[in-house]
Amino acid sequence: MKIRVREKDGVSILDLEGNLDINASNFIEEIGWSLMHKSKDILCNFEEVNLIDYVGVSVIAVACKNVLNHKGRIKIYGAPSHIRKIFAVVGLDKVFEYYVTEEEALHAFKEEEIISEIMEKKLRRRFKRVMLRGTIEYRPKGSSEPFYEGKFLNLSGVGAFVIGEKTFPVQELLSIRLHLMPKPGIIEVEAKVAWVAGREMIALESPAMGLAFYDIDPQTQKTIVEYVEKNFAESVE
């Protein structure tokens, strides 16, 4: 097993080449070295992995346990279908998250960090959620179809509660336009669908979605928070 170790965006990337078998103990060693000297976030490139036998599965399990013991994270990208089938048979598909490209995997690490920071610092409590009605336009990211129109019933610095005739599946990435009137005006951001509920479940005239802002830049988030803070102040005066 040949392994090349590199680093990108604070993540140790292991480019693997060959077979994960009885001769692949260096996989455990390289991960251990990365955990000690580089990063606790490990990304394994399986594009050039040809074969994994049952000894190789044990090697991966030991390496994964080592990462978890160091409170790290480990992900895989580029695994061929026959490798993923082996992982499914032995249950490792419930341990690893698979990604098609390196970029997707690195982005997932960043997303998790953002979510973790929000949870740890309880930032959601600092973003006042204002009960107000405003217009929102939305459509799938990258789509050329017309924007659907709906209403947001509340808004915070991390997301919005939206009603509209059109909903999308959970995890769908949307391009949205928030109409924050009279100022700052129309704000364009991206959001992921966090949950969906039919009108019969929430006694509203239309189905509803919970949207979580996705990869939002700090300045845009600050603009939304300031709008929320201003409306909150006016509502309690």
Q: How far apart are CA 46 and CA 52, in angstroms?
A: 11
pLDDT beyond 70 at 114: no
Beta bridge partners of 119: none
CATH number at residue 201: 2.40.10.220
Q: How far apart are CA 20 and CA 159, in angstroms?
A: 43
Residues 49, 17 share a domain: yes
Give the domain range for residue 68.
Answer: 2-120
Task: Enumerate residues 6+ apart whose C-beta is below 8 A from 11.
Answer: 39, 41, 42, 43, 106, 109
Contact 59, 92 (CB under 8 A): no
pLDDT beyond 80 at 121: no
Q: How far apart are CA 50 and CA 158, in angstroms?
A: 43
pLDDT digits (tens, 9 = 90+) for 141-154: 999 999 999 999 88
Residues 111, 11 share a domain: yes
Q: How far apart are CA 115 and CA 130, in angstroms?
A: 21
CATH number at residue 61: 3.30.750.24
What's the N-to-C CA distance of the chain in angstroms?
68
Looking at the chain, the whole-number percentage of residues with pLDDT higher than 70 is 86
Residues 138, 41 share a domain: no
Residues 157, 134 share a domain: yes
pLDDT digits (tens, 9 = 90+) for 160-191: 989 888 999 989 999 999 999 888 999 999 99
Residues 30, 58 share a domain: yes
Which pLDDT score is estimated for 116? Answer: 62
pLDDT digits (tens, 9 = 90+) for 127-138: 555 566 789 999
Nearest to 10 by CA among 106, 144, 147: 106
Residues 16, 112 share a domain: yes
Looking at per-residue pLDDT, the higher value among 52 and 165 belongs to 52
- Kindly report whether the global pTM for this prediction surpasses the value 0.85: no
Mark which of 66, 91, 120 sits at the end of a domain: 120
Of the pLDDT bands very low, low, confident and very high (cuts 50, 70, 90), residue 228 is confident
Count CA within 13 A, CB hemisphere, residue 65.
6
Q: What value does the mean pLDDT take over residues 202-217? A: 79
Residues 232, 155 share a domain: yes
Residues 129, 115 share a domain: no
| Number of domains into which the chain is organized | 2
Residues 203, 182 share a domain: yes
Residues 108, 64 share a domain: yes
Contact 8, 26 (CB under 8 A): no
